[in-house]
């Protein structure tokens, strides 16, 4: 039996906490704060108090945050400079020369992270074959003086073909680090991969968010130390955790920290249901206070991608494939210039929050609509302590109804609910139907504070028969942190036709990548890591893969490599992967583009006890379903006994979230407290 373990996930409205000790699960939810570390320590203190655990008894502390993604979305990251090869200073601005909206003449791209006045060039040159013009140290020192005068807080260095031959870039980065007292991100360290624009943009993101991540993690480490809590281990976008030092050095890996934790938690929490019902996989649906995140788990593995764009900025690091929309419980409703009802992406946040919070908010939100519809009761205490003001919610919806020309606050609430659902249905279709997957073969895992309120309606629209609501659904991202594995990735571009591949050279590169990721896991030198692995002393599993494509294609598919590199085996695996993804294979030459390695150490979390006493019935209240007012049973979710069954319409309440069971649906409680909602025939 391990000691107490705690996971803390920061969201836009609430900070969620899970603590596991002696087989018991304790959850807590506190308002997020401007300095996220303040909310984190408040949440830890609250959970420890409820569990009767002293903070200095905690064995591990795992954390997910929104510092990086907020800096990108709000454009309040560091004042960043860029040093590029002569003639390539405008790569960020030119991009792929595509327009945000092809036929909109007034469309504007988001501003570059590094404006033209802070982009500098040096006269070095490398090709994919080697160095042609060495970097001039004095020229780099002159650029350092210009950067200092520009007041930069961080610097990105991205030279042409540095992924293949980083000597010039390495020399320039070392000089800049000596000359300037600011972080320097070098592209060959951030992303040793070809495609100049994406590599430069990813390096710029790393530089842009590094000072904020460094400062935040530093504050968090200090606050944790004051409480006696261990140093935090941080969730990365790839679904794995890393030590604080690693993420401070590679801040770009944290941009989807929180959503990745949710997918990990959902995959574990619904694993038994997926197996029992023989589902092809799971659609994860995380609806929080500010946004909703949708992802796909095929089999038992979350889909990953290396091609993500956040607010117009491409980021090519491995991450869980999450589709995010601005539709959360706090999303504000409005009427647009054409008279149509819109919901989000603007959010009321934690302060003042939805009107029903009673903190001064006057505009209607999705949460206010759920209150007026009767899905959330006025007596419900969100987070266990925030009581709701139903009158304020109704007044806000009445104002919206007047603006939209609707008859009543109830009509406006129904409209807000339906519009929000339509956005989320489109998001789920984007990760299923649009990628060739039939959502009817999947289960829907609902979590986040508002996930259980909307999931059955989404499932109805998509013909999904099973909705899984984990027992810790309101704080599932925090729970996922306890189950996340240690994970590190490395990549290197090696462009070659399989017909001409030098297998010894490829095996050498794969060996170097293996040593690199093992060193990251073990916090030791690559040589020591390699020796430990060769001796069988490493606890890490290393998976290797190759990004391949047909000659002439501009996109790749990743295929696994087992044992020594075998061109024939890789070719056949690529044909099979292409056939699964696109429905066909062709007799064309196959090229290797990138080689990858991932090291993982399994952690896992112990099973926790569930002891619902069966005394769950709280009474009834009126709620609206399909335009009809229905008398609806209300139950305390955590008092439902294992094996219990509740027919809809019903509402299952708990401190962190609420689950709606519509008419025609049945809620069944599993042995671990997970609730599975099943559609009746004819739904």
The most confident of the ranges 103-112, 188-197, 580-589 is 188-197
Nearest Cα neighbor of 455 from 467, 465, 443, 439 is 467
| 631 within some domain | no
Domain containing 340 equals: 331-419
- CATH number at 269 reads 3.30.420
**Which residues are bridge partners to 590 per DSSP?**
550
**Two tokens, residue 126:** 């490398």
Domain termination site, one of 601, 631, 664: 601
Q: Are 99 and 194 in contact (CB under 8 A)?
A: no
Mean local confidence (pLDDT), 243-247 = 91
Taking CA 125 as the corner, what is the angle to CA 123 and CA 129, rounded to the nearest 5 degrees?
A: 175
Query: Do 454 and 380 lie in a common domain?
Result: no
Q: Are 629 and 650 in contact (CB under 8 A)?
A: no
**Which residues are bridge partners to 335 per DSSP?**
341
Domain termination site, one of 192, 227, 254: 254
Q: How many CA atoms lie within 13 A of 548 on its CB side?
A: 27
Q: What is the pLDDT of residues 366-405, one digit of tens each?
A: 999 999 999 998 766 555 556 788 999 999 999 999 999 9
| 660 within some domain | no
Query: Do 409 and 448 lie in a common domain?
Result: no
| 628 within some domain | no
| 117 within some domain | yes
Query: Do 168 and 282 lie in a common domain?
Result: no
Query: Do 492 and 582 lie in a common domain?
Result: yes
Q: Coil, helix or strand for 566? A: coil
Q: What is the pLDDT of residues 36-52, one digit of tens each?
A: 999 999 999 999 999 99
Query: Do 346 and 406 lie in a common domain?
Result: yes
Nearest Cα neighbor of 649 from 680, 611, 614 is 680
Query: Do 209 and 220 lie in a common domain?
Result: no
What CA–CA distance (Å, rounded) separates 421 from 460? 11
- What string of DSSP letters covers 159-191? -TTTTT--HHHHHHHHHHHHH-SS-EEEHHHH-
**Two tokens, residue 660:** 């709606």
Q: How many domains does the chain have?
A: 5
- What string of DSSP letters covers 400-443? HHHHHT-S-HHHHHHHHHHHHHHHHHHHHHHHTGGGT--GGGEE
Alpha carbon of residue 258 to chain centroid: 5
Query: Do 311 and 442 lie in a common domain?
Result: yes
Contacts (Cβ under 8 Å, ≥6 apart) of 334: 341, 342, 343, 346, 363, 400
What CA–CA distance (Å, rounded) separates 10 from 34? 11
Query: Do 362 and 405 lie in a common domain?
Result: yes
Q: What is the pLDDT of residues 626-666, one digit of tens each?
A: 889 999 999 999 999 999 999 989 999 988 789 999 999 99
Where is average pLDDT lowest: 550-554, 608-612, 632-636? 608-612
Phi first, then psi: give them for residue 512, nearest 5 degrees: -60, -40
Residue with tokens 């401007």: 34
Banded model confidence at residue 535, pLDDT cuts 50, 70, 90: very low
**Two tokens, residue 414:** 């129904």
Query: Do 569 and 508 lie in a common domain?
Result: yes
Query: Do 245 and 266 lie in a common domain?
Result: no
Query: Do 297 and 432 lie in a common domain?
Result: yes
Query: Do 61 and 165 lie in a common domain?
Result: no
Predicted local distance difference test score (pLDDT) of residue 619: 92
Where is average pLDDT lowest: 168-172, 347-351, 585-589? 347-351
| 430 within some domain | yes
| 623 within some domain | no
pLDDT at 529 over 50: no
Domain termination site, one of 389, 419, 449: 419
Q: Are 51 and 6 in contact (CB under 8 A)?
A: no
pLDDT at 33 over 80: yes
| 653 within some domain | no
| 657 within some domain | no
Positive/negative CA dihedral, 481, 486, 490, 496: negative
What CA–CA distance (Å, rounded) separates 496 from 245? 35
Q: What is the pLDDT of residues 50-89, one digit of tens each?
A: 999 999 999 999 999 988 888 887 888 999 999 999 999 9
- CATH number at 249 reads 3.30.420.40
């Amino acid at each position: 039996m391990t000691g107490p373990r705690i996971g803390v996930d920061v969201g836009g409205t609430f900070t969620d906490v899970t603590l596991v000790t002696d087989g018991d699960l304790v959850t807590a939810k506190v308002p997020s704060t401007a300095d996220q570390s303040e909310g984190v320590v408040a949440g830890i203190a609250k959970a420890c108090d409820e569990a009767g655990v002293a903070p200095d008894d905690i064995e591990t502390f795992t954390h997910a945050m929104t510092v990086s993604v907020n800096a990108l979305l709000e454009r309040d990251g560091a004042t960043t400079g860029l040093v590029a090869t002569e003639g390539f200073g405008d790569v960020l601005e030119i991009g792929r020369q595509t327009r945000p909206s092809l036929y909109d003449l007034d469309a504007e791209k988001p501003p570059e992270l590094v404006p033209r006045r802070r982009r500098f060039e040096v006269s070095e040159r490398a090709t994919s074959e080697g160095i042609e013009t060495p970097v001039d140290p004095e020229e780099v020192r002159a650029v350092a003086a210009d950067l200092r005068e520009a007041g930069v807080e961080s610097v990105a260095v991205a030279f042409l073909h540095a992924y293949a031959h980083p000597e010039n870039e390495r020399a320039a980065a070392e000089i800049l680090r000596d000359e300037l007292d600011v972080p320097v991100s070098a592209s060959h360290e951030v992303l040793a991969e070809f495609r100049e624009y994406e590599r430069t943009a990813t390096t710029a993101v790393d530089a842009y968010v590094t000072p904020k991540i460094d400062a935040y993690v530093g504050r968090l480490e200090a606050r944790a130390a004051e409480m006696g809590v261990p140093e935090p281990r941080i969730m990365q976008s790839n679904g794995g955790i890393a030590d604080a030092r690693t993420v401070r050095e590679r801040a770009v890996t944290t941009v989807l920290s929180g959503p990745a934790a949710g997918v990990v938690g959902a995959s574990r929490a619904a694993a038994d249901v997926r197996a029992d019902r023989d589902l092809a996989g799971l659609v994860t649906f995380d609806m929080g206070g500010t946004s909703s995140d949708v992802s796909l788990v095929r089999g038992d593995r979350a889909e990953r991608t290396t091609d993500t764009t956040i607010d117009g900025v491409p980021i090519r690091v491995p991450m869980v494939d999450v589709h995010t929309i601005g539709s959360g419980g706090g999303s504000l409703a409005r009427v647009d210039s054409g008279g149509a009802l819109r919901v989000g992406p603007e959010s009321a946040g934690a302060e003042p929050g939805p009107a029903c919070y009673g903190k001064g908010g006057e505009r209607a939100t999705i949460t206010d609509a759920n209150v007026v519809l009767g899905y959330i009761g006025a007596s419900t205490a969100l987070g266990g302590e925030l009581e709701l003001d139903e009158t304020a919610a109704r007044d806000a919806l009445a104002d919206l109804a007047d603006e939209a020309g609707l008859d009543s606050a109830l009509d406006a609430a129904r409209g807000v609910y339906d519009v929000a659902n339509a956005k989320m249905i489109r998001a789920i279709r984007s990760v299923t139907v649009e990628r060739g997957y039939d959502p009817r073969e999947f289960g829907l895992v609902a979590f986040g504070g508002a996930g259980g309120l909307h999931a059955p309606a989404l499932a109805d629209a998509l013909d999904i028969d099973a909705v899984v609501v984990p027992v810790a659904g309101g704080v599932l991202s925090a729970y996922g942190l306890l189950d996340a594995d240690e994970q590190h990735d490395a990549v290197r571009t090696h462009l070659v036709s399989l017909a001409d591949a030098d297998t010894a050279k490829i095996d050498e590169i794969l060996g170097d990548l293996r040593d690199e990721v093992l060193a990251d896991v073990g916090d030791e030198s690559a040589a020591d890591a390699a020796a430990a692995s060769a001796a069988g002393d490493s606890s890490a599993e290393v998976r290797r893969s190759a990004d391949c494509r047909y000659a002439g294609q501009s996109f790749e598919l990743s295929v696994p490599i087992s044992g020594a590199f075998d061109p024939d085996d890789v070719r056949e695996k690529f044909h099979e992967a292409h056939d699964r993804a696109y429905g066909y294979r062709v007799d064309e030459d196959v090229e290797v583009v990138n080689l990858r390695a991932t090291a993982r150490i399994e952690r896992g979390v112990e099973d926790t006890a569930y002891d619902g006493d069966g005394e769950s019935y709280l009474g009834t209240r009126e709620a609206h379903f399909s335009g009809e007012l229905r008398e609806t049973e209300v139950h305390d979710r955590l008092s439902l006994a294992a094996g219990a069954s509740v027919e809809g319409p019903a509402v299952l309440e708990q401190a962190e979230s609420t689950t709606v069971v519509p008419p025609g649906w049945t809620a069944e409680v599993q042995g671990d407290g997970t609730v599975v909602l099943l559609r009746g025939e004819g739904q």
